[in-house]
């Protein structure tokens, strides 16, 4: 049995779950939520979770994304309230997606990440800052990120990745060939 990955659906679901957790965290923690370290921790968890999904979809090694996530974690630990923290998270996400998981020539990678992460950050920036609007901003960001698999990654590459034969299917086919021969 082949397990087909559905990155568009999964990206939208991760965004929806991230938005729900963001909203519940804001409502449950109250004034503690205003602490920059708590917000950055949530941002880092969303980025790390999505980076792990990208690694799985691209069939790359997990080790390749540890360094970018550590850079983001150290940045947020020392400067969680900096204005560029959200941009740094978007840059790390771009690094993981276009540099590690789905590499492309430099100019093309910069163009597609500028459009996707820039569009996602614009969607977040246009939403006013409240509990519900923060959750909507997270969800809008992931909706824009789902466009990567609609526009950028062609269906041919996903079909080729999904066409990898299951080991049990290969064994069954080989056994049938041996039985037919004798």
Q: What is the pLDDT of residues 129-181, one digit of tens each?
A: 777 888 888 898 898 888 888 877 654 354 445 556 678 888 888 888 888 87
Please report the pLDDT score of residue 3 as a whole number.
46
Higher pLDDT pick, 2 / 78:
78
Average pLDDT over the chain reads 82
Please report the pLDDT score of residue 162 as a whole number.
52
Please report the pLDDT score of residue 20 as a whole number.
93
Q: What's the average model confidence in pLDDT over 59-75? A: 88
The percent of residues above 70 in pLDDT, for the chain, comes to 87
pLDDT bucket at 19, cuts 50 / 70 / 90 = very high
Please say if the pLDDT value at position 1 is more than 50. Answer: no
Contacts 24+ apart (CB under 8 A), 21-28: 22/134, 22/135, 22/138, 23/131, 23/132, 23/134, 23/135, 26/131, 26/134, 26/135, 27/131
pLDDT, tens digit (0-9, with 9 covering 90-100), for 92-135: 998 898 888 888 888 888 888 888 888 888 877 777 777 788 88
Q: What's the average model confidence in pLDDT over 57-82? A: 85
Q: What's the average model confidence in pLDDT over 73-99? A: 84
- Prediction pTM value: 0.76
145: tokens are 């990120």
| Helix, strand, coil abundance in the chain, percent, nearest 5 | 80, 0, 20
Q: What's the average model confidence in pLDDT over 45-71? A: 89
- Name the 3-class secondary structure at 164: coil
Q: What's the average model confidence in pLDDT over 64-73? A: 90
């Amino acid at each position: 049995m082949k397990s087909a990955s559905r990155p568009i659906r999964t990206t939208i679901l991760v965004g929806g779950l991230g938005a729900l957790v963001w909203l519940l965290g804001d409502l449950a923690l109250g004034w503690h939520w205003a602490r920059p370290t708590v917000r950055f921790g949530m941002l880092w968890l969303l980025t790390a979770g999505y980076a792990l999904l990208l690694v799985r979809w691209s069939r790359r090694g997990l080790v390749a994304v540890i360094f970018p996530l550590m850079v983001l974690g150290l940045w947020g630990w020392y400067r969680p309230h900096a204005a560029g923290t959200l941009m740094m998270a978007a840059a790390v996400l771009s690094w993981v997606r276009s540099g590690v998981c789905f590499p492309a020539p430099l100019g093309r990678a910069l163009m597609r990440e500028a459009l996707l992460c820039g569009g996602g950050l614009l969607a977040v920036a246009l939403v006013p800052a409240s509990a519900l609007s923060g959750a909507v901003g997270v969800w809008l960001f992931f909706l824009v990120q789902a466009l990567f698999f609609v526009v950028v990654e062609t269906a041919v590459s996903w079909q080729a990745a999904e066409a990898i034969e299951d080991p049990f299917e290969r064994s069954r086919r080989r056994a049938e060939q041996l039985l037919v021969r004798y």
